[in-house]
């Protein structure tokens, strides 16, 4: 039996996106680990807590990161144990806790996004190519979010929605 499997253009593009994303993510994690910084995932949570301010609760962070709340909750538990964040009881909603950065979390956030490998990899594209890539990936992401919400709408609690304002989308884009 021969190996005749071929991919059409769309699947080839998808595979290249995934491979490129996985490789860059690994390079970022390596750089962060070698420089004694928090992981990229933790840095993203710290960034979201800072951007959300008083609205930083587990469910909201999960929405922004397009992750399951239980996944973010477990990560927040570990980050709290490491002294990066603290949970503060919300006086208005007794069953919720706001998430705040500790001094250690603020310091970790200030160092976390000084990642050199991203610039090194992106330097292979001209400014024009980077702008084109940004537009195209934003379009793909928008379509993917629409499909995601359409499929998940039945399973999501009433009122679930991704942030819609420009600052919210910029924050989501920054964490990708």
For the segment 3-45, what is each residue's pLDDT rounded down to a tens digit?
667 789 999 999 999 999 999 999 998 988 888 789 889 999 9
Res 91 pLDDT > 70: no
For the segment 131-168, what is each residue's pLDDT rounded down to a tens digit?
999 999 999 988 988 888 787 765 544 444 555 555 55
Question: Does CATH place domain 10-175 in 1.10.10.10?
Answer: yes
**In a 3-state reduction of DSSP, which class is residue 85?**
strand
Q: What pLDDT is attached to residue 175?
A: 45
- φ, ψ of residue 86 to 5 degrees: the values are -140, 150
For the segment 42-65, what is each residue's pLDDT rounded down to a tens digit?
999 999 999 999 889 999 999 888
Q: What pLDDT is attached to residue 164?
A: 55
pTM above the 0.75 mark? no
Q: What pLDDT is attached to residue 129?
A: 97
Res 169 pLDDT > 70: no
CA-closest candidate to residue 116, choices 32, 12, 46: 32
Calculate the CA dihedral of residues 83, 85, 86, 87 and round it to 10 degrees: -140
What does the alpha-carbon distance between residue 176 and residue 172 come to, in Å, rounded to a whole number? 7
Which sequence spans correspond to the domains of the chain?
10-175
Looking at per-residue pLDDT, the higher value among 150 and 101 belongs to: 101
């Amino acid at each position: 039996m021969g190996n005749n499997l071929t991919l059409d253009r769309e699947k080839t593009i998808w595979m290249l996106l995934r491979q490129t994303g996985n490789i860059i993510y690994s390079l970022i994690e390596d750089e962060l680990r070698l420089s004694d910084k928090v992981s990229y995932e933790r840095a993203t949570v710290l960034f979201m807590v800072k951007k959300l301010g008083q609205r930083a609760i587990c469910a909201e962070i999960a929405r922004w990161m397009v992750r399951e709340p239980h996944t973010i909750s477990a990560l927040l538990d570990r980050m709290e144990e490491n002294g990066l964040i603290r949970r503060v009881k919300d006086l208005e909603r007794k069953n919720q806790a706001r998430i705040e950065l500790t001094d250690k979390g603020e310091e970790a956030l200030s160092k976390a996004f000084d990642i050199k490998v991203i610039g090194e990899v992106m330097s292979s594209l001209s400014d024009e190519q980077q702008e084109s890539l940004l537009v195209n990936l934003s379009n793909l992401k928008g379509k993917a979010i629409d499909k995601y919400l359409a499929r998940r709408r039945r399973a999501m609690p009433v009122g679930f929605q991704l942030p819609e304002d420009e600052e919210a989308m910029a924050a989501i884009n920054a964490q990708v």
